[in-house]
């Protein structure tokens, strides 16, 4: 499946036993020798009564992630298409978050992504005090960033021209910076208007992807905190567009976007 180019291998781990180690996941993720995907989504039975389904997220290198907004839309669509539920509104849990999803009449899916975590210790970020922006020195350059957790740690960097942004160079530098003890997804944000941004994201454990749902949410939160964005923002990523809404501190972030099935199959591991 894919959500604006962020592609997933989706596995039903409710109807069948599934055991994959990190090496097997990494091999399956390889685009020449495997299936090829940004993340593996493993759908499991709910772990607590208020959830309809639980799903686990594994990056292309086999490491486990805590949250994935584009993946949540894929899961919501998958379980309906497979007849695992007929509900239009679902509650999905991951290892770090619980989300409410709604299937809209136009086929798009809206997700309550929960409240952003802004405290440095909850991101995690090695700064003593919370701030709207932080200054980080890396390889002789000083970067002004926003930092947010949407279940995964995010670093947001504003750029003048998204097409000229050094995502492949600066992304890994900031992602692995010592200020981010759990590494970070790094978003490069160009503000088009107060209600529209362009975004490219370097994801930890994956590299640059065509789309990142939590990255889009984090970018809007960072922009709102810096008072440069409106409550409702269109986020254009290389793979397509998402619509993000955040009323401000104390409120959850809402994300609306598509999810599509690319193909189905079987594989022996």
* 191 φψ region: left (φ > 0), alpha (ψ -120 to 50), beta (else): beta
**Residues 17-22: contacts with CB within 8 Å, 24+ apart?**
18/42, 20/58, 20/269, 21/62, 22/61, 22/62, 22/63
Is 126 annotated in a binding site? The answer is: no
Other Cβ atoms closer than 10 A to 46: 14
Query: Residues 48-56: what's their mean pLDDT?
Result: 94
Is 98 annotated in a binding site? The answer is: no
Is 106 annotated in a binding site? The answer is: no
Query: Residues 224-230: what's their mean pLDDT?
Result: 97
Q: Is 89 exposed, middle or buried (0-12, 13-18, 19+ CB in 10 A)?
A: exposed
Per-residue pLDDT tens over the stretch 106-124: 999 999 999 999 999 999 9
Is 70 annotated in a binding site? The answer is: yes
Is 100 annotated in a binding site? The answer is: no
Query: Token pair 């020449």 is at which residue?
Result: 32
Is 69 annotated in a binding site? The answer is: yes
Query: Residues 238-263: what's their mean pLDDT?
Result: 96
d(CA 126, CA 170): 19
Is 32 annotated in a binding site? The answer is: no
Is 152 annotated in a binding site? The answer is: yes
Query: Residues 7-11: what's their mean pLDDT?
Result: 96
d(CA 80, CA 57): 19
Per-residue pLDDT tens over the stretch 126-173: 999 999 999 999 999 999 999 999 989 999 999 999 999 999 999 999
Q: What is the pLDDT of residue 151?
A: 87
d(CA 179, CA 181): 6
Confirm whether pTM is higher than 0.85.
Answer: yes
Q: Using 50, 70 and 90 to split pLDDT, how confident is the model at 66? A: confident
Query: Residues 20-42: what's their mean pLDDT?
Result: 96
Q: What is the pLDDT of residue 79?
A: 96
d(CA 65, CA 59): 7
Query: Residues 58-65: what's their mean pLDDT?
Result: 93
Query: Residues 13-42: what's their mean pLDDT?
Result: 95
Is 266 annotated in a binding site? The answer is: no
Q: What is the pLDDT of residue 138?
A: 94
Helix (H, G, I), strand (E, B) or coil at 31: coil
Query: Residues 188-198: what's their mean pLDDT?
Result: 98
d(CA 254, CA 244): 6
Q: What is the pLDDT of residue 63?
A: 93
Whether 125 and 131 have beta carbons less than 8 Å apart is answered as no
Q: What is the pLDDT of residue 110?
A: 97
d(CA 82, CA 174): 40
Whether 41 and 64 have beta carbons less than 8 Å apart is answered as no
Other Cβ atoms closer than 10 A to 195: 13
- Which helix (H) or strand (E) segment holds residue 224: the answer is helix 213-225
Query: Residues 178-185: what's their mean pLDDT?
Result: 96
Q: Output the CA angle 149-151-153, nearest 5 degrees.
A: 40
Q: What is the pLDDT of residue 45?
A: 96
Q: What is the pLDDT of residue 68?
A: 87
Q: Can you list the domains of the chain with their CATH numbers?
A: 2-114 (3.10.310.10), 120-251 (3.10.310.10)
Mean pLDDT in the chain?
95
Active site residues: 68, 212
Q: What is the pLDDT of residue 96?
A: 86
Whether 157 and 169 have beta carbons less than 8 Å apart is answered as no
Residue 203 confidence (pLDDT) above 90:
yes
């Amino acid at each position: 499946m894919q959500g604006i180019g962020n592609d997933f291998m989706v596995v039903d781990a409710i109807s069948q036993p599934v055991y994959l180690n990190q090496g097997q996941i990494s091999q399956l993720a390889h685009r020449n020798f495997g299936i090829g995907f940004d993340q593996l989504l493993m759908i499991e039975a709910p772990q607590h009564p208020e959830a309809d389904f639980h799903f686990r997220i594994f990056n292309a290198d086999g490491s486990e992630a805590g949250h994935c907004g584009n993946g949540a839309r894929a899961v919501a669509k998958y379980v309906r298409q497979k007849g695992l539920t007929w509900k239009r509104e679902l509650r999905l849990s991951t290892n770090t978050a619980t989300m409410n999803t709604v299937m809209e009449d136009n086929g798009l899916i809206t997700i309550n992504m929960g409240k952003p975590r802004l405290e440095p210790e909850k991101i995690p970020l090695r700064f003593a005090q919370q701030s709207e922006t932080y200054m980080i020195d890396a390889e002789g350059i000083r970067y002004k960033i926003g930092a947010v957790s949407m279940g995964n740690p995010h670093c947001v960097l504003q750029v003048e021209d998204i097409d000229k942004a050094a995502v492949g160079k600066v992304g890994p530098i900031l992602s692995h910076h010592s200020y981010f003890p759990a590494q970070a997804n790094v978003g490069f944000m160009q503000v088009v208007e107060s209600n529209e941004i362009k975004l490219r994201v370097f994801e930890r454990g994956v590299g640059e992807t065509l789309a990142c749902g939590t990255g889009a949410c984090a970018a809007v939160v960072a922009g709102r905190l810096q008072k440069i964005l409106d409550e409702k923002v269109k986020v254009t990523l290389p793979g397509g567009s998402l619509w993000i809404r955040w009323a401000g501190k104390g409120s959850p972030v809402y994300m609306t976007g598509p999810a599509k099935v690319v193909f189905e199959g079987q594989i022996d591991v």
